[in-house]
Amino acid sequence: MKEIYKIFKYSIADITRSRWLLAYLLFYLAFGLILFYLDNDFGKVLISISNIIIYITPLVSIVYTTIYYYNSQHFIELLLTMPIQRKSIIYGIYFGISLALSLGLMVGINIPILLNLQYVDSISSLVLLNMSGIALTFIFTGISLLIVLKNENRIIGFGLGIVLWLFASVLYDALILSMIILLKDYPLDNMILITTIINPVDLARVSVILNFESAAVLGYTGLVFRNYFSTSLGLIISIVLMLIWTASPILFTKRIFTKKDF
């Protein structure tokens, strides 16, 4: 734990001084301020922000982690020559990136909200919004580390990351919708449910929707999910699934990292 903390500390000190993180923070900050300027309805603002988080957070996590890893490769090799366990290095880097990006996200989102506190009517929605963003950051940082560790070639690593984002955030719902249209004569509810659980972006989207009770951001998969999980049990199940999604990529990453030739 002590070793992980040492790596985490250096990694977060490096990332928090990066212009990328500042740009990320400023993006959410500007977006939030503009939304509140246009409309004072807290619910609507939160839904708009959540929509952006669902698309932008996985993309930024993938792009930033990929760039950070490839740029740090030589330093990681140097760390490997020091008397510290390999798992401490990868966990330290993972937590450093994830927490720095989460920090950028939280500051960016919450400053406009704090400035417009008088319109805030649902703290639980705000907490859930933050949690979804953080969960997506951790999940896609982990997945991205998995991709880059498996691919020495920067272009391939970067390309795979982008394809993954495109698939999870954009194409996935379109594919499911197409399937539903093609197989409309068959009972598909269970299949829809399973396909939603498979995709962490949909899972995050549904978790937020469940809390907002709003149809504005519902994709078809989200609609089916609500029918099944609009209870407190549903919320617990989505949190558990999100935790599984968060833990799995980094556990696989650690496994690869500890056996990898650099």
Partner 1 sequence: MIKIDNINKHYGKNHVLKNTNLDIYSDKVTILSGPNGSGKTTLVKLILGIVFPDNGAIYLDGENINAGVHYKNKIGYMPQMPNFPENLTGNEILNICKKLRNSEVDFTEYIKHFRLENHINKPFKTLSGGNKQKINLIQAFGFNSDYLILDEPTVSLDPVSRLALKELIIKKKNEGKSILIITHILSEIIDIADKLIYLVEGNTLFDGQIHELNTITQSENYDIAISQLTHQYERNI
CA angle 224, 168, 173 (to 5 degrees): 35
**Residue 40 binds partner 1, judged by CB under 8 A:** no
Number of residues that bind partner 1 (CB under 8 A): 27
Q: How far apart are CA 214 and CA 236, in angstroms?
A: 19
Give residues with Cβ within 8 angstroms of 238, minimum separation 6: 203, 206, 207, 210, 229
| Residue 84, token pair as written in the block | 């510290």
CB of 254 to partner 1, least distance (A): 16
**Residue 100 binds partner 1, judged by CB under 8 A:** no
Which C-beta is closer to partner 1: that of 12 or that of 204? 12
CB of 9 to partner 1, least distance (A): 8
Which C-beta is closer to partner 1: that of 84 or that of 164? 84
The answer to whether the CB of 237 falls within 8 A of the CB of 190 is no
Give residues with Cβ within 8 angstroms of 185, minimum separation 6: none
Which C-beta is closer to partner 1: that of 18 or that of 230? 18
CB of 77 to partner 1, least distance (A): 6
CB of 152 to partner 1, least distance (A): 11
Residue 166, CB half-sphere, CA atoms under 13 Å: how many? Answer: 6
**Residue 261 binds partner 1, judged by CB under 8 A:** yes
Give the three-class secondary structure for 218: coil
Give residues with Cβ within 8 angstroms of 105, minimum separation 6: 24, 25, 28, 53, 57, 130, 133, 134, 137
- Residues between 41 and 80 that touch partner 1 (CB under 8 A): 71-75, 77-80
**Residue 153 binds partner 1, judged by CB under 8 A:** no
**Residue 12 binds partner 1, judged by CB under 8 A:** no
Question: What does the binding site for partner 1 look like in residue numbers (CB under 8 A)?
Answer: 3, 6-7, 10-11, 13-15, 17-18, 71-75, 77-85, 259, 261-262
